[in-house]
Amino acid sequence: MKNAAVGAWVVLRITRWISWISFLAYSFATTLDRESYLNRFGQPLPSTEAWLFGLAFAAVAAGFFELMMRERAGIARPDYFRLKPPSAPH
C-alpha cells in the first residue's frame, strides 16, 4: 500500500509541475498574440478563460492532493529547493 501511495505522490507532483508550466506558457502565449485570444470587444474568448482558469485550478488541486498523498505515504516534508524526498528518519 505504501508503494502505491508513493507512486500516486510522484504522479501528482509531476502533474502539478506540468500544470504550472503549461499555465505560464499559455499566459506568455496570450501576451505575445493577444488578438487571437480576444473577441472583437477586447474580452477573452471562453476557451482562453477556460484554459487559464482550468490550468491554474488543476495545479492547485494537484498540489493539495499531493500534500494528502505525501502524508498518507509517510514521506517527510522536503527541504526548500530540494527535488527528491528526504530519506526517512531512523
The three-state secondary structure class of 50 is helix
Percent of the chain with pLDDT strictly greater than 70: 87
Instruction: Collect all residues with Cβ–Cβ distance below 8 Å to 89 and sequence separation of at least 6.
Output: 76
C-alpha–C-alpha distance, residues 38 and 28, integer Å: 14
Question: How sure is the predictor about 32, in pLDDT bands with cuts at 50, 70 and 90?
Answer: very high
Residues 13 and 80: beta-carbon distance below 8 Å: no
Which of the pair, 77 or 65, is modelled with greater confidence? 65
Residue 74 DSSP symbol: T
The confidence score (pLDDT) of residue 1 equals 60
Separation of CA 88 from chain center = 26
